[in-house]
Chains A and B, each alone.
Chain A
Amino acid sequence: MRKKNPPAWALGMLQFFCKDRYLEQIEGDLLELFDREKSVRKAKRKFGWNTMRFFRLRYLKGLDDFEQLTTLAMIKNYLKIAIRTLLKQKSYAGINIAGLAIGIASCLLIFMYIAHERSYDNFYPDVDRLYRVGVGERGAYSPPMLAKTMQEEYSQVEVATRLSGLWETLFKIGDRSFMQAGAGFGDENTFKVFQTEFIHGDPETALLQPDNIVLTESLAQKCFPDELAMNKTIEIDGEVYQVSAIVIDPPKNTHFPYQYIAASLESGHNNWTGNSGWTYAKIQDGVPVEEINLKLKELYYKYVGPEIIDFSGHTSFEEFMEENPNRYYGFTVHPVSSIHLYMPHLSMGPRGDYKNVIIFWVITLFILLIACVNYINMATARSAVRSKEVGIRKAMGSHRKNIIVQFLVESMVITLLAVLIALVISATSIDYFNQLTGRQFTITDLFSPSNILSICLLLIVVGLLAGVYPAYIISGFSPLKALRGQMQQAGKKSLRSWLVSFQFAISIFLVAATVVIYQQVTYMQSKKLGVNIDQTLVISNGNELEDKYELFKNQLEQISGIQQVAKMSNVPFSFVGDWNYTIPADNKREVAPSNVFTVAGAEKVLDIEMVSGRFFDKDRVTDTSAVVINQSLAKEIGLENPLGSVLSRGNGLNFTVIGVMKDFNYASLKREIGPLIYRFGNKHGEMGMWHQRYVIVKVNGSDILKTIGEIEDLWDQQVPNYPFDAGFLNDAFQRQYEGERKFGQVFTTFSILAIFIAFLGLFALTTFVLQKRVKEIAVRKVLGASIPSLLRMMLKDFTRLVFLGGIVGIAAAFYWLEEWLKGYNYRIDLSWYLLALPVVLILLLTWIVVSLKSYKAAVANPSNALKEE
């Protein structure tokens, strides 16, 4: 008996990797050395070490050590047979490869898309410690004082920064001027939170001076081609800045795609209630989100509370909260890495949606499954052809295991070919994919290391998924029956039927979804809004007109095609801020309508209908303290006749309601019409010149292009240093549904692909069924069956499958679409015919495919089929 035993792991490892030829002598020597050592611990340690030292190429097992040499030869044989079968049945192989290639190509593109969507902002160092801070639970904007205060009062905040953006601004360099997008304004901490690589300049001092500006590399190149941009001056919207640093361009996958950051102008704003910028913070490692939120809540109570009651007139903040209980009082932090997918409304760049990512993923998986089902169906349906081969192999001594391997090799070969074609398909369709997703992928993204890994993974998974069942079934053939000449049909017919109806179900689901999404988009686009937005031209940057607005307006009204001109601070379908008002007559209850400044004439441009009272009148001086509200706000005020009631902004700013407008949609139709207030706009109001940010013009001439040209000439006369920028309100309205349209496009694409693959499979399956039933059809015909009755017989089976799939597909579609439509306040109702339509479509397609194939068999001379036996 041995007194001590060497570590089992080391011996096991040696036995695993070492060639049998060397194993005994090495083990022997190792054991001898082991026994010689006095200390057991030392012996064990040495034994392990020495074992590992034998891990040399010379002792490693090679290919020939694992199995007998015949395995290699057999795999060669399998490959040869696989390629021969493939060439022998070109059309079947073609259908399989085409289907799988399309499925795999969609998978590759979607994998790339998902990887991209999930990678947003992960390139920032310490991204797991970066947070966006907002008001309430989801608010995007935050008070100007927040960043500095939280950094000062809360030691766990490493650094906090305040930003605003991203805007479009006017650049002037020498005698060149152009509009430049991607403008951010930030304080000196911006690049401490968003760390990036500096090409020139110092991150510590880059934004310290109020006239500092940091350019990205590409913008620096654009502004100062072929010279160093450092310390050069640029005039931005009239202010002069000096370039203090140049940084590398931020990558594509960021929610903050800035082109430049200028030192913030807003240092003077010291309030806690005007939420006007973004706040970001870097928090110390390991501080949980709940703790940060709790701490920030204290800040809210300490600073925001007093300012709120100052203006609302309550005696304490607690009392105010009690009366307005439906709000979250505090700030919340959101991880920067989750903004793109989970908090897209906080993003300044491309917006993602995790729901879309999941939906795309599921649909691609479905398409891949349809293609796999094709393979399974065709392989099992055609298995009879291979039964003799299997019989002979078994008679020659093949194990079932070997035959399974053979058929798996075959499915792998097909999958490999499909993958190669899929690479070509995905590379060529990348432009279309970019258009669908609104991203900018290039072919290099397609061949990123992670995507290459998924290509290999797909190869194995799809090869197994498609191949395992047929291989398992075919390998079970009895050699005796096979060699005696009895045809064996593998797999149950019922399983094939189930798989086919599964394909129908997916196709019907996708078609139903496509139809409903387009119906909803059409419905929203043609919905009566309550205002007339046709032929309404919106001229941006009206604030640049300053006091020349009246002059400009008069000039415009001279043009023959122009009926009416007015100005507004916010036009419909663009962002409108909610402003707080109190109702002094109702115990200072608070309302928060969307707040817009406008003037007399707007009601004529937009065709606003008044329910009671009147719109502004430019001849009445008292209208500066008058407001017009919509029905929704009137309802919130709660009076039967709200005319004459007073709304207060605090500090003695009181406004009298002079009219009630009929509700109209001024925002997306996803939401219901919220309360809206129209204030009289002039430059002494709370928004200054921004009250005339937009000039709205009703254009009614026959030659609209000419009219716009004339308007542009007039603008250039009045504001020579600012480019003319105008667009039609209707376009802005349509643009709101861009996302839905793209969504619809995605579904159309996927439905077409799914139907295409499924019907390829159906076509092949019909061909095969007909081949098997050709004698039956001939006998029936001889006995007097008519051609229509024969066709009916063939169609009956498939019709049943379509209905079976239809029930499942429609049920799933109904459930999901009902859920999807819940996101829209103005929505279509799901009617039976919307959902029956896809079933009818698929049924018709099925009939066409099956009849085309069957007709040939039905009209054929039965003697041809019967003469051979």
Chain B
Amino acid sequence: MKNKSYQLGELEELVLMIVAILQENAYGVKVMDEILDQIGRKVNISAVHTVLDRLEKKDFVSSYMGGASSERGGRRKRLFKVTATGSKAIAYVHQTRNELYDKIPKTVLGFQ
């Protein structure tokens, strides 16, 4: 199955997976921290927001405002979760990557 709408940018793919990992607890700072923890990459908070916004426009994630707390100066969080389309996209990406990986001759990868 080849579907164009599953096309994702590299950072988009990463953020989408992180959101999936975090399960309903994903919001800007958290996603940023998780990227740093999981793969040690520093991303600016504004970039994370932009990517999340873009994913939402593409319908891969959905969002809702969380409850207010005294932290964050009383500001509410916008929480993200993966939609059905998002799950399919992750599966699709994973599958295509695996297929491609399998087609690479073993010698190129440097181990027998």
Residues of A within 8 A of B (CB): 2, 22, 24-33, 35, 50, 53-54, 56, 58
Nearest CB of chain A from residue B18's CB, rounded to whole Å: 15
Contact check, A32 vs B50: say whether CB atoms are below 8 A apart: no
Residues of B within 8 A of A58 (CB): 50, 53
B11 at interface, CB cutoff 8 A: no
Contact A54 B75 (CB under 8 A): no
Q: Given the known A-B contacts A31-B72, A32-B72, A33-B29, are A56 and B77 also in contact in the complex, defined by CB atoms under 8 Å?
A: no
Residues of A within 8 A of B49 (CB): 22, 25-26, 29, 54
A25-B28, A25-B78, A29-B27 known; A53 and B73 CB under 8 Å? no
Report the bound CA distance from A30 to B46 in whole Å: 9
Binary interface profile of B, 57-73, with partner A (CB < 8 Å = 1, else 0)? 00000000100000111
CB-based nearest B residue for A26: B49
Name the one of A2, A24, A33, A56 contacting B76, with C-beta atoms under 8 angstroms: A24
Q: How far is the CB of A132 from chain B (nearest CB, A)?
A: 58
Beyond A25-B75, A58-B50, 18 additional pairs, beta carbon < 8 A: A2-B73, A24-B75, A24-B76, A25-B65, A25-B77, A26-B28, A27-B72, A28-B72, A28-B77, A29-B45, A29-B72, A29-B77, A31-B72, A31-B73, A31-B75, A33-B45, A35-B71, A56-B50
Instruction: Tell me if B3 counts as interface (CB < 8 A to partner A).
Output: no
6 contacts between A and B (CB under 8 A): A25-B49, A29-B28, A31-B72, A31-B73, A32-B72, A58-B50
Q: Which residue of A lies closest to B54 (CB)?
A: A58
- A27 near B46 (CB under 8 angstroms)? no
In contact, B75 and A50 (Cβ under 8 angstroms) = no
Whether, in the assembled complex, B44 has its beta carbon less than 8 Å from a beta carbon of chain A, the answer is yes
Residues of chain B with a CB closer than 8 A to A2's CB: 73
Convert B1-37 into 0s and 1s, putting 1 for each residue whose CB lies closer than 8 angstroms to a CB of A: 0000000000000000000000000011100000000
Cα(A28)–Cα(B72), bound, Å: 5
Are A50 and B73 in contact, with the CB atoms below 8 A? Answer: no
The 3 closest A-B pairs by CB, nearest first: A28-B75, A53-B46, A29-B28
User: Within 8 Å CB of A54, what residues of B?
Assistant: 46, 49
- Given A33-B29, A35-B71, A58-B53, A28 and B76 touching (CB < 8 A)? yes
Please measure, in the bound complex, the distance between the C-alpha atom of A58 and the C-alpha atom of B53, giving whole angstroms: 9
> Which residues of chain B have C-beta atoms less than 8 A from A30's C-beta?
45
On whether the beta carbons of A25 and B45 are closer than 8 Å, the reply is: no
Kindly identify which residue among B44, B50, B71, B76 contacts A25, using a CB–CB cutoff of 8 Å. B76
A29: B residues at CB distance < 8 A: 27-29, 45, 49, 72, 77
Contact status of A53 and B44, CB under 8 A, knowing A25-B27, A28-B72, A35-B71: yes
- Give A53 to B48 CA distance when docked, in angstroms: 11
The number of residues on chain B lying at the interface, defined by a beta carbon within 8 Å of a beta carbon of chain A, is 18
Contacts known (A53-B45, A54-B49, A58-B50); A32 close to B78, Cβ less than 8 A: no
Q: Which residue from B45, B65, B77 sits with its C-beta under 8 Å from A50?
A: B45
- Minimum distance in angstroms from B44 CB to a CB of chain A: 5
User: What is the minimal beta-carbon distance from B26 to any residue of chain A, in angstroms?
Assistant: 12
Interface residues of B (CB under 8 A from A): 27-29, 44-47, 49-50, 53, 65, 71-73, 75-78
Q: A376 CA to B50 CA in the complex, in Å?
A: 52
Q: Tell me the dominant secondary structure on chain B's binding face.
A: helix
Chain A's nearest CB lies how many Å from the CB of B67? Answer: 12
Residues of B within 8 A of A32 (CB): 29, 71-72
- Distance of A22 Cα from B76 Cα, bound (Å): 11
Chain B's closest residue to A34 (CB) is B73
Q: Smallest CB–CB gap between B61 and chain A, Å? A: 14
Determine how close the nearest CB of chain B comes to the CB of A310; give it in whole angstroms. 83
The residue of chain A having its C-beta at the shortest distance from the C-beta of B71 within the complex is: A32
CA distance A811 to B76 in the complex (A): 73
- Report chain A residues within 8 Å CB of B78: 24-25
A33 to B32, CA, bound (A): 11
Give the chain A neighbours of B71 by CB distance below 8 A: 32, 35
How many Å lie between the Cα of A361 and that of B39 in the bound state? 70
Chain B residues with Cβ under 8 A from A56's Cβ?
46, 50
Closest Cβ of chain B to A566, distance in Å, is 91
Q: How far is the CB of A452 from chain B (nearest CB, A)?
A: 37
Nearest CB in chain B: distance from A760 CB, A: 58
- When chains A and B are docked, how far (Å) is the Cα of A559 from the Cα of B22? 117
Question: From residue A775, how far is it (CB to closest CB) to chain B in Å?
Answer: 68
The residue of chain A having its C-beta at the shortest distance from the C-beta of B72 within the complex is: A28
Docked pose: A53 CA to B28 CA in angstroms? 14
A residues less than 8 Å from B29 (CB atoms) = 29, 32-33
In the complex the two chains form, what is the Cα distance from A295 to B84 in whole Å? 88
Nearest to A23 among chain B residues (CB) is B75
- Bound-state Cα–Cα, A54 to B27, Å: 16
Name the residue in A22, A26, A29, A32 with the highest tally of chain B Cβ atoms < 10 Å from its Cβ.
A29
Give CA–CA (A35, B71) in the complex, Å.
9
Most A CB atoms within 10 A — which of B27, B49, B65?
B49
Residues on the A chain within 8 Å of B27, using CB: 25, 29
CB distance from B51 to the nearest CB of A (A): 11
Please give, as numbers and ranges, the residues of chain A lying within 8 Å of B77 by CB-CB distance: 25, 28-29
> Taking CB as reference atom, which chain B residue is nearest A53?
B46
B46 touching A50 by the CB < 8 A rule? yes
The residue in B27, B53, B72 that gathers the most chain A C-beta atoms within 10 A of its C-beta is: B72
In angstroms, Cα B54 to Cα A670, docked, is 79
**Chain A nearest CB: distance from B45 CB in Å?**
6
* Residue of B whose beta carbon sits closest to that of A2: B73
Distance in angstroms between the alpha carbons of A348 and B112 in the assembled complex: 90
A26 to B47, CA, bound (A): 12
Tell me the smallest distance from the CB of B12 to a CB of chain A, in Å. Answer: 14
Set B46, B53, B73: member contacting A28, Cβ < 8 A: B73
Residues in B whose Cβ lies below 8 Å from that of A25: 27-28, 49, 65, 75-78
Q: How far is the CB of A22 from chain B (nearest CB, A)?
A: 8
CA distance A657 to B45 in the complex (A): 99
Within the assembled complex, what's the spacing in Å between the Cα atoms of A30 and B32? 12
Of A25, A31, A54, most B-chain CB atoms within 10 Å: A25
A292 CB to nearest chain B CB (Å): 56
CB distance from A547 to the nearest CB of B (A): 93
| Of B27, B28, B73, most A-chain CB atoms within 10 Å | B73
- With CB as the reference atom, state the residue of chain A lying closest to B31: A29
Chain B nearest Cβ from A143, distance in angstroms: 70
Instruction: Note all chain B residues with C-beta closer than 8 A to A53.
Output: 44-47
Q: How far is the CA of A109 from the CA of B77 in the complex (A)?
A: 60
Q: Closest residue of chain B to A49, judged by CB?
A: B44
Complex contacts, A33 vs chain B, CB 8 Å = 29, 45
Contact A27 B45 (CB under 8 A): no
Q: What residues of B have a CB within 8 angstroms of the CB of A31 in the complex?
A: 72-73, 75
Bound form: Cα–Cα A28–B49 in Å: 12
CA distance A130 to B51 in the complex (A): 58
List, in ascending order, chain B residues with CB within 8 A of A35's CB.
Answer: 71-72
Chain B positions within 8 Å of A24 at CB level = 65, 75-76, 78
Q: Which residue of B lies closest to A24 (CB)?
A: B75
Bound-complex Cα distance A22 to B53 (A): 10
Q: State whether A27 and B53 are in contact (beta carbons under 8 Å apart), knowing that A33-B29, A53-B44, A54-B46 are contacts in the complex.
A: no
Note all chain A residues with C-beta closer than 8 A to B47.
53
- The complex places the Cα of A495 from the Cα of B47 at a distance, in Å, of 61
Chain B, Cβ-Cβ closest to A36: B29
Bound Cα distance from A27 to B29, whole angstroms: 11
Report the minimal beta-carbon distance from A700 to chain B, rounded to whole angstroms: 95
Set of chain B residues within 8 Å of A22, measured between Cβ atoms: 49, 53
Chain A contacts for B65, CB-based, 8 A: 24-25
Give chain B nearest CB distance to A25 CB in angstroms: 4
The smallest C-beta distance from B27 to any residue of chain A, in angstroms, reads 7
B76: which A residues are within 8 A, CB to CB? 24-25, 28
Distance in Å from the Cβ of A416 to the closest Cβ of chain B?
A: 39
Closest residue of B by beta carbon distance from A28: B75
